[in-house]
Amino acid sequence: MESFDALTLARIQFAFTVSFHIIFPAFTIGLASYLAVLNALWLRTVQGAYLDLFNYWKKIFAVAFGMGVVSGIVMSYQIGTNWSVWSDKVGPVLGPLMGYEVLSAFFLEAGFLGVMLFGRERVGPKLHFLATLMVALGTFMSAFWILSVNSWMQTPAGYAINEAGQFIATDWWAVIFNPSFPYRLVHMLLAAYLTTALVVGAVGALHLLRNRANPAARIMFSMAMWMAAVVAPLQIAAGDFHGLNTLEHQPAKVAAMEGHFDTHAGAPLILFGIPNAAEGRIDYQVSIPYLGSLILTHQWDGVVRGLNEWPADQRPPVGIVFWSFRIMVGIGFAMLGLGAWGLWLRYRRRLYDAPWLHRAAIAMGPSGFVAVLAGWITTEVGRQPWTVYGLLTTAQSASRIDAAAVGASLLAFIIVYFILFGAGTFYILRLMNAAPHSHESGLAPGQPIRAAGIMPAPAMAAKDALPTAEKEPVS
């Protein structure tokens, strides 16, 4: 089949593996901060419920973090196997940034993770809290560098091109803090926080439905609803700023998101419709006149450029971008609604006594992941046909590999990922299904001491294990 050439297969493979990967960081970035907050609250209030919650989510964090790491290792090699021309050309600029990601963040997270998971009794509560903070900082640093790399490809800056055709850095500051980076970083971090809040809220709601007196369930549900109420509006605002930044640097992407084929002044806001790329119009559209211009240009008759201004081979695929954008925005407003509902019931003092709110929160539990994926699909498909925007096309970036090789490895990844990450998700759901109880243990019974890193951490863990080992009958 003509369309299933090596390039298409390589794109599908990258989309598949990166989509699987982003699910885990989106969750662990938020969860690491949540664990730090729980730890701080426990230190301040000495309420056992906070410690129980910390131990409860810690076990879930460990599994999700592990899956994030292994799926991330795949990404770091895949850029070479499938996208070797891209690697050669952007390596001098993006390689050091990714190098810093590995060096600082990976080792910081992995280094202190062991202390966080196993070391409280050994290092004392203060140092243990520091380790928890360092893990949270590590996840942030990971996000910082990776989003800087991605943003540079969307809005390249601070570079020159050498005689070998490689991008080289002329100004590292401009490379790292490229024009779209601050917006993307804020938007993604808020997304991670919201995603985690909704998962925590759903788990809290589930256990409230079963027993509305469970103190740990009440705490996590309340905290999650506060997060939804506060962060959802912030995220909508951040998304708007990010959209305006995209309009400035990647107007074709915005045109695809909005479904505008023709340039016009006073453009409508298209709510729904079926994009018809062949005819260059949106069929069955439901739109609000002038609102598109008002949102994008902050003037009711502002000019909004349509896709027809770009040659056909420089337009992103409209259908995917149009829909993924609407899914993301729709979920964002649903989160806003959930947060507002929670605020209202809290004001009425019925937050823990509202089965329909709890059911809604459970239903919304996975929505953060859907929104994150939809958002990334919008920005990544929307920048097509480019990998480095306006400078290097996706087609030019790919390795010259036989379609059979890419197809075979794609198939292997699909099978393996569904088996392994399916099992991992099952184990996580099983942990979530168990109610948090007082004196929650930090480790699954029988689980060995392992550091998920190395470092002083396991060290502490080993000492922890000493008394246990001594109690065992000598064999």
* Residue among 18, 40, 96, 236 that touches other proteins (CB under 8 A): 96
Q: Residue 399's closest CA among 35, 190, 150, 87? A: 87
The minimum distance between CB 169 and other proteins, in angstroms, equals 6
Contact indicator for 28, 65 with CB cutoff of 8 Å? yes
Q: Which is nearer to other proteins, 91 or 125 (CB)?
A: 91
The minimum distance between CB 68 and other proteins, in angstroms, equals 11
Q: Contact between 12 and other proteins (CB under 8 A)?
A: no
Q: For residues 22 and 373, what is the distance between their CA atoms, to the nearest angstrom?
A: 8
* Residue among 158, 259, 268, 458 that touches other proteins (CB under 8 A): 458
* Residue among 22, 31, 35, 93 that touches other proteins (CB under 8 A): 93
Contact indicator for 296, 243 with CB cutoff of 8 Å? yes
User: For the window 406-425, what string marks contact with other proteins as x by the rule CB under 8 A?
Assistant: ---x--xx--x---x--xx-
What part of residues 102-141 is at the interface with other proteins (CB under 8 A)?
102-104, 106-107, 110-111, 114
What's the Cα-to-Cα distance from 446 to each of 427, 435, 441, 443, rounded to whole Å? Answer: 16, 20, 12, 8
Q: For residues 184 and 382, what is the distance between their CA atoms, to the nearest angstrom?
A: 14
What part of residues 383-402 is at the interface with other proteins (CB under 8 A)?
399-402
Helix (H, G, I), strand (E, B) or coil at 263: coil
What part of residues 149-168 is at the interface with other proteins (CB under 8 A)?
162, 164-166, 168
Contact indicator for 332, 239 with CB cutoff of 8 Å? yes
Q: Contact between 251 and other proteins (CB under 8 A)?
A: no
Q: Which is nearer to other proteins, 77 or 284 (CB)?
A: 77
Amino acid sitting at position 219: I
Q: Which is nearer to other proteins, 298 or 430 (CB)?
A: 430
The minimum distance between CB 162 and other proteins, in angstroms, equals 7
Q: Which is nearer to other proteins, 107 or 226 (CB)?
A: 107
The minimum distance between CB 318 and other proteins, in angstroms, equals 32
Q: Residue 245's closest CA among 331, 301, 177? A: 177
Q: Any alpha helices (H) in 177-307, and if so which ranges?
A: 181-210, 215-249, 251-258, 291-297
Which range in 135-143, 287-295, 313-321, 404-412 contacts other proteins by CB under 8 A?
Answer: 404-412
DSSP string, 295-338: HHHSSTT-EE--GGGS-GGGSPPHHHHHHHHHHHHHHHHHHHHH
The minimum distance between CB 137 and other proteins, in angstroms, equals 14
How many amino acids of this chain bind other proteins (CB under 8 A)? 88
Which is it for strands 167-169 and 281-288: parallel, antiparallel or unpaired? Answer: unpaired
Which range in 257-265, 308-316, 354-362, 403-411 contacts other proteins by CB under 8 A?
Answer: 403-411
User: For the window 171-210, what string marks contact with other proteins as x by the rule CB under 8 A?
Assistant: -x--------------------------------------
The minimum distance between CB 67 and other proteins, in angstroms, equals 7
Q: For residues 334 and 340, what is the distance between their CA atoms, to the nearest angstrom?
A: 10
The minimum distance between CB 257 and other proteins, in angstroms, equals 32
Helix (H, G, I), strand (E, B) or coil at 387: strand
Amino acid sitting at position 159: Y
* Residue among 141, 169, 206, 381 that touches other proteins (CB under 8 A): 169
The minimum distance between CB 248 and other proteins, in angstroms, equals 28
The minimum distance between CB 336 and other proteins, in angstroms, equals 36
Q: For residues 312 and 310, what is the distance between their CA atoms, to the nearest angstrom?
A: 6
The minimum distance between CB 51 and other proteins, in angstroms, equals 23
105 burial (CB, 10 Å; 0-12 / 13-18 / 19+) is buried
Q: Which is nearer to other proteins, 19 or 222 (CB)?
A: 19
What part of residues 52-91 is at the interface with other proteins (CB under 8 A)?
62-63, 66-67, 69-74, 76-82, 84-85, 87-91
Q: Which residue(s) pair with 272 in the sheet? A: 286
For the four alpha carbons of 182, 183, 184 and 188, in that order, the dihedral sign comes to: positive
Q: Which residue(s) pair with 441 in the sheet? A: none
Q: Residue 174's closest CA among 162, 159, 188, 189? A: 159
Q: Contact between 234 and other proteins (CB under 8 A)?
A: no
